[in-house]
Structure 1
Amino acid sequence: MPITIIPNSVRCNDLADDGPVGRPLSQPPCRTSSLRVALEGAGDNRTGLWECTPGSYERQVPEAEVMHILAGSCVFTPSGGEPLRIKAGDTLFFPANTTGKWEIHEPMRKVFVILK
């Protein structure tokens, strides 16, 4: 089983443009890019790096997600909840069906695992 190493992942330039977010709340809409990392034995789970430009949008990932913020800062406000200030170095665990609003203040980059 090969081991994937992304040297200095906070500066990796191999991310592909994914276009604007699906549910923008700001104009111009946030743009995203990602690098999907195939992980043998992970089944339908998705892993990789993801980056987003400043702005705001609605979260639309229905699956549970684990993320580690590599760069940037933001606020996530869960539906019916209090705003959570998030910055580089933070690790988050989102239960499935978490909804809310992202407000990206500085370009944000994360490592993600989406659990199916």
Structure 2
Amino acid sequence: MSEAKLLQDPLTLSREEMTDWGDVAVPIGEPVSHECGVLLFRREDRSSEMGLWECTPGTWRCDVEKDEFCYFLSGEAVYRPDDGSEFVVREGIAAAFPAGWKGTCEVKQTVRKVYMVR
């Protein structure tokens, strides 16, 4: 059985305490967003994972492959689904992105969130 992992006060973690995950996969223009985070759990078959994620300003393409639930701890981003609408996420907002969601994300201020993907 796996043991529970705790992340005390995820807002106080410095970038140096997180794992560098590199630039986003499909950037759109400059600046290019850079990701880092803390992986709390991942199934061996990679069917699900949970963690803390941070992303710097920039715009990038999102093609969600697995259902994701997240809660934004800080920052601000604008998500634009391919249907032309848009919504803003910031501190205190929870969001669910179903598998198959497609659009873009424009990070205005560095975003930090906790998430679960499955």
Query: What one-letter code is carried by the residue in structure 2 that aligns with 1:100?
Result: G
Deviation at 1:5, TM superposition (A): 1.6
Any idea what the Cα deviations from partners look like across 1:19-77, whole Å, max 9, x if unmatched? Answer: 1101001213100001101268xx73111000000010011331110000011011101
Deviation at 1:12, TM superposition (A): 1.5
Secondary structure of 2:11 counterpart: helix
Assess if the C-alpha contact under 8 Å between 1:34 and 1:49 holds in 2: yes
Residues 76 and 8 of structure 1: CA distance in aligned 2, closer, same or farther (over 3 Å): same
Identity of aligned residues (%): 26
C-alpha distance in structure 1 between counterparts of 2:82 and 2:29, whole Å: 18
C-alpha distance in structure 2 between counterparts of 1:10 and 1:72, whole Å: 11
Q: How does 1:46-65 map to 2 (within 5 A)?
A: 46-65=49-68
The answer to whether residue 78 in structure 2 is matched with residue 103 in structure 1 is: no
Comparing 69-78 with 13-22, greater Cα deviation is found at 13-22
The count of aligned residue pairs is: 113
TM-score (norm: length of structure 2): 0.88
Residues 60 and 15 of structure 1: CA distance in aligned 2, closer, same or farther (over 3 Å): farther
Q: How does 1:1-116 map to 2 (within 5 A)?
A: 2-13=3-14, 14-38=17-41, 44-115=47-118
Instruction: Give unmatched runs, 5+ long, in structure 1.
Output: none
TM-score (norm: length of structure 1): 0.89
Q: Kindly report structure 1 stretches of 4+ aligned residues shifted beyond 3 Å.
A: none
C-alpha distance in structure 2 between counterparts of 1:22 and 1:98, whole Å: 16
User: RMSD value over aligned CA atoms?
Assistant: 1.6
